[in-house]
Amino acid sequence: MKISEILERKRTISFEFFPPKKVENEETLFRTVKVLKKYKPDFVSITYGAGGSTKDKTVEWTLRMKNQYGLNPMMHLTCIASSKESIKKIAETLNGEGVENILALRGDLPEGFSRDKLEFKYAYQLVEFLKSHWGFSIGVAGYPEGHPESSSLEKDIEYLKMKIDAGGDFIITQLFFDNGKFFDFLDRIEKANIKAPVIAGIMPILSLKQVKRFVDMCGATIPESLVKSLEGKSKEDSYKIGVDYAIKQCSELLTSGVKGLHFYTLNKYNATEDIIKALSLG
């Protein structure tokens, strides 16, 4: 089912997974999917390795979500290191298998890759390409705190608008921990006359080390009070602090009328399940 159509009727709940690199890790994902399926997600998404490094596995797991688990999948697809021909091949496969949703991304240029002959430079070009050939419902990435490469928040919104004008149907945000940044982002979106619904990306914190690694990668900030509360804590205490924080964060977002919550599960179910249960979602 098209995510854009679901969003017209209701607030969405969704889970993000990554394709396991090793066969021995597949069992973890199987278990996670089995547990989280109980909460009736509106869709699940499968990430695409940098530069398409997990291309085949991403397609395989996207199809598994649909055919083996009966879930509504969205495949992440990056374009920066891809040719139109290779994107076409993937899109034809997904279309032929009845997958209706794609998260259209630029991705990051792999090391040693020349910028000279890129067929896609930005995500909006992938959105345009997909929209002009197939009928997918297309999501695009949004950055409440700005994309790390962008010169200003205003420019970032300008480029986000290009993705929506090119045919993007909805926006899924980068993880964030400060709802204030998300609400400011929504204000900027409204001012730019972007009408697409915005789904909030939520990452339950499992440890200070883990969250710092992700934040370094994507440029999100962690509120000082949260950092302080996690410092020197045991694994168990960090888990509890992280889950309690996410419950409060999601609860405030739900009260504000957020269009959807997208959980970055990292292929683990415990924290996401605890949050979903506490909020009586699903």
Closer CB to ligand FAD, 63 or 230, in the complex: 63
Closer CB to ligand FAD, 172 or 271, in the complex: 172
- Smallest separation (angstroms) from ligand FAD to the CB of 108: 5
How many residues does this entry show for the chain?
A: 282
- Smallest separation (angstroms) from ligand FAD to the CB of 136: 15
Active site residues: 16
* Dist. CA 147–CA 145, nearest whole Å: 7
Closer CB to ligand FAD, 101 or 238, in the complex: 101
* Dist. CA 220–CA 242, nearest whole Å: 16
Encoded tokens for 218: 């994507």
Which residue blocks in the chain are alpha helix, DSSP H?
Answer: 3-9, 26-37, 55-67, 84-96, 123-133, 153-165, 179-191, 208-218, 224-230, 235-255, 270-278
**Three-class secondary structure of residue 255 per DSSP:** helix
- Smallest separation (angstroms) from ligand FAD to the CB of 273: 21
CA distances in angstroms from 79 to 53, 119, 146, 189, listed in the order given = 12, 8, 20, 24
Closer CB to ligand FAD, 18 or 239, in the complex: 18
Closer CB to ligand FAD, 82 or 238, in the complex: 82
Binding site for ligand FAD (CB under 6 A): 47-48, 50, 76, 78, 103, 105-108, 122-124, 141, 147, 149-150, 155-156, 159, 162-163, 172, 174, 201
- Smallest separation (angstroms) from ligand FAD to the CB of 229: 26
Report whether 200 contacts 260 (CB < 8 A). Answer: yes
Handedness of CA 267, 71, 126, 193 (dihedral sign): negative
Question: What contacts 132, CB < 8 A, 6 or more positions away?
Answer: none
- Smallest separation (angstroms) from ligand FAD to the CB of 159: 3
- Smallest separation (angstroms) from ligand FAD to the CB of 38: 24
Closer CB to ligand FAD, 2 or 147, in the complex: 147
Secondary structure, 3-state, 13-29? EEEEECCCCCHHHHHHH
Give 173-191 as a DSSP string: EEE-S-HHHHHHHHHHHHH
Question: What contacts 203, CB < 8 A, 6 or more positions away?
Answer: 175, 211, 214, 246, 263, 264, 266
